[in-house]
Amino acid sequence: MAITFVSHDGTAQVVEAEVGLSVMKAARNADVPNIDADCGGACACATCQVFVDPEWFEATGPMSEEEDAMLDLAVQRQPTSRLSCQIQVTKALDGLRVTVPESQF
């Protein structure tokens, strides 16, 4: 499955991701900048935040209360913010496009 990560400066990086991985793990495997994932995917920090393109937001699935609370700690939270560790790659997300904040701190 292809996921496009767009940096704050507009540079796009297309990453091939396996179904079942989290979007965060796919990003880390491909060395996508600014996906720090300090907690390793435990939904215990907000350092893997991404801004999901609006047309893809619903397809990423519902956000848990825990994820919502963690995103309250994010520096640049936006209406389509998600923690990439909480989005599982599925066939329905082939073509997903997300933007990575300039900084997670």
For 12-71, the pLDDT digits (tens) are 999 999 999 999 999 999 999 999 999 999 999 999 999 999 999 999 999 999 999 999
Q: Tell me the CATH number at 91.
A: 3.10.20.30
Burial 73-95 (b: 16+ CB within 10 A, else e): ebeebeebbbbbbbbebeeebee
Q: Is the pLDDT of residue 105 over 90?
A: no
pTM: 0.94
Residue 105 covered by a domain: no
Domain, as residue range, for 85? 2-99
Q: Is the pLDDT of residue 104 over 80?
A: no
Tally of residues, the chain: 105
